[in-house]
Amino acid sequence: MDNRILADAHNLKKLIREAEALADEAIIAMARLKQAMLAARQNPLVEVNTGQRALVRLTEAESQALAMSSNLLRVHDELSKVARVHAGGDTGVPTVIPPSDLDVLPVGQTREQEREPLQA
């Protein structure tokens, strides 16, 4: 196999894993933020509705981050298919993503909404 193809395959493998890890880190950061926001409004001196709009916005952002993560899984799956064709000599363990994981959508989101551009 051509050394350039092998080098490109290894680089893409590293970069897709990095992108997936960053998506997970963003989801974790938002979960921590939500936890801190909820804990802060449990203060008896704070109204129970304080920050509700911010929590709703954060929940929307979490949903979008999860959709991004799902799309990165789809990218990973497509790259794995390309690798089987063009980098077949790579002795690494192939990535197998169950089809059910590729079809995951955030709660309440439809396929049509998934394709719609984000509105400001």
How does DSSP assign 28-69, residue by residue?
A: HHHHHHHHHHHHHTTSTTS-TTTTHHHHHHHHHHHHHHHHHH
| Whether pLDDT at 94 is above 70 | no
Rounded Cα gap, residues 44 and 63, in angstroms: 30
State the first-to-last Cα distance of the chain, in angstroms, to the nearest integer: 47
**DSSP letter for each residue of 17-31:** HHHHHHHHHHHHHHH
Assess whether pLDDT exceeds 50 at residue 97.
yes
Residue 87: per-residue pLDDT: 73
Q: Where are the domains of the chain?
A: 3-112
Predicted confidence at residue 120, as pLDDT, reads 42
Here the tokens at position 6 are 């092998």
Q: pLDDT tens across 29-52, in order?
A: 999 999 999 999 999 999 999 999
Q: What is the pLDDT of residues 68-87, one digit of tens each?
A: 999 999 999 999 988 888 87
What mean pLDDT do residues 75-102 have?
A: 78
